[in-house]
Chains A and B, each alone.
Chain A
């Protein structure tokens, strides 16, 4: 108990007990209000906050006492002092929330120690209630702020109509995704697809992809080359995001005029290219560091160029897919992905892989953002 004045309410018609209690509480920072009847005390209860109610009234009917305890025990600790030594009677009052029950004659030392414990417990309970309320308010405030951030996020990233040949999916580990898939068509007609995975997940990761989205869209719309886009992204991300953060990315350019497929892979899982018979015909492993790490002079923006396949597909994904664990701690792994590609149709491939991944995950949470992107060459 602290040094503030603790207010007690005593309902009593026993002058001996009144004087004893007045005595023990007189020098210990207590203020005690004594009433001889319930009606008087109830009036007072409406206007004043008490730390404890003590009822010492053997003249009261059981019904009145029961009703009084029932009404007040949820708000105040209530102690009964009585002559009635009846287990069933006592148990009934404990069931409706009485904090303690003392038989007369009172053992004052025991009474004082128990009262002190009840008041201390109640102080802790009140403090915990206050903290819960504060936590609730903070959670609410967090939700409001998150919804504002989400609105900005969705509008900055922007949703657009994807071309038919592109099928993609992202599963976020949090409200916000640190994975992003962007598509843009340049003035020359070339299609550009960016799959990026920012360090971590959630809002902190999502914030890192904001500049990436606006730089990518603006530069592609102005007809800048993929190499220039990559250099600008690397340079700006190096400036904008914290030094221990970076963005792994794959940039694909589909050059319809030259019939070329250009791929840049920076710290992402290998990009896979399959024939229409679902045989792996090419793969582009990560040969570069993620964006936002290297200086301009060390950064390599060269894309790997292959002839644009007429049929088959390109499959790319973020590492959240293969690193997702099941309840035994086993990772989903690449083999399940390869196997699914071999035995699926292009149009349902993304759904099939995600379905298997979800089944594998079971009740485990999504550990990291998962993205899959499939380019169907037949539809280009």
Chain B
């Protein structure tokens, strides 16, 4: 699946991951071969509002380039936060 970029998120998904997060999706946004960016939450057990902000920004950039964004392996408290924020309206949940 060459056209999917899977970004594995850290245990603590907050502003400290901002630079790395941007670096990991930037190339995919410009690369026309990449059709989908998947955020893998399997390691995440904490996320804050700045992480949600980063996800909104990624969604906006991906939407502008007609790319699909999705999340996978979301569970526990993280799932509750994403549900409360209604992120299923932006991201496909796998």
**Which of B49, B50, B86, B87 lies at the interface centre, i.e. has the most chain A CB atoms within 10 A of its CB?**
B49
**Residue tally, chain A, CB below 8 Å to B:** 21
- What separation, in Å, do the CA atoms of A207 and B50 have in the docked complex? 16
Assess the B50–A287 pair: CB atoms within 8 A: no
- CB pair B56 A246 closer than 8 Å: yes
Chain B residue with Cβ nearest A331? B77
Residues of B within 8 A of A287 (CB): 86
Which of A's residues lie within 8 Å of B, judged by CB?
Answer: 199-200, 243-246, 248, 266-269, 285-290, 293-294, 298, 319
A-B contact count (CB 8 A): 44
In B22-73, the 8 Å CB interface with A consists of 49-50, 52-54, 56-57, 60
Scoring B50, B86, B89 by chain A CB atoms within 10 A of each residue's CB, the highest score goes to B86
Q: Verify A288–B56 contact, CB threshold 8 A.
A: no
Q: Which 7 A-B pairs have the closest CB atoms?
A: A244-B53, A244-B57, A267-B85, A199-B49, A289-B86, A286-B84, A199-B53
A199 and B89 within 8 A (CB): no
Tell me if B56 and A286 are in contact (CB < 8 A): no
Query: With the chains together, A294 CA to B90 CA distance in Å?
Result: 9
Note all chain B residues with C-beta closer than 8 A to A269: 84
Contacts of B50 in A (CB 8 A): 199-200, 244
**Cβ-neighbour of A244 out of B54, B84, B86, B87 (below 8 A):** B54
CA distance A269 to B54 in the complex (A): 21
Given contacts A199-B49, A289-B90, contact A248 B60 (CB under 8 A): no
B interface with A by C-beta (< 8 Å) = 49-50, 52-54, 56-57, 60, 84-87, 89-90
Interface class of chain B by DSSP: helix
A residues in contact with B87, CB < 8 Å: 289
Q: Give the nearest-CB partner of B15 in chain A.
A: A200
B53 A245 Cβ-Cβ under 8 A = yes
Tell whether A248 pairs with B56 under 8 Å between CB atoms, given A199-B50, A200-B49, A289-B90. no
The answer to whether A246 touches B53, judged by C-beta atoms less than 8 angstroms apart, is yes
Contacts of A243 in B (CB 8 A): 56-57, 60
- A200, A244, A286: the one contacting B85 at CB < 8 Å is A286
- Chain B residue at minimal CB-CB distance from A299: B89
25 A-B Cβ contacts within 8 A? A199-B49, A199-B50, A200-B49, A200-B53, A243-B56, A244-B53, A244-B54, A245-B53, A246-B56, A248-B49, A248-B85, A267-B84, A268-B84, A285-B84, A286-B86, A287-B86, A288-B86, A289-B85, A289-B89, A289-B90, A290-B85, A293-B56, A293-B90, A298-B89, A319-B84
Instruction: Verify B85–A294 contact, CB threshold 8 A.
Output: no
The distance in angstroms between the C-alpha atoms of A246 and B87, with both chains bound, is 13
- On chain B, the residues within 8 Å of A288 by CB distance are 86
Tell me, rounded to whole Å, the shortest Cβ–Cβ distance linking B51 to chain A: 10
B22 to chain A, nearest CB (A): 10
Q: How far is the CB of B82 from chain A (nearest CB, A)?
A: 10
Nearest Cβ distance between residue A333 and chain B, in whole angstroms? Answer: 10
Within the assembled complex, what's the spacing in Å between the Cα atoms of A267 and B83?
8
Task: List the B residue with the shortest CB-CB distance to A197.
Answer: B49
| Chain B proximity of A330: nearest CB distance (Å) | 12
Q: Residue of A at shortest CB range from B58?
A: A244
Q: Which residues of B contact A246 (CB under 8 A)?
A: 52-53, 56
From residue B11, how far is it (CB to closest CB) to chain A in Å? 13
Q: How far is the CA of A221 from the CA of B53 in the complex (A)?
A: 32
Residue of chain A at shortest CB distance from B85:
A267
**In the assembled complex, how far is the CB of residue A63 from the closest CB belonging to chain B, in whole angstroms?**
60
State the CA gap A245–B90 with chains docked (Å): 15
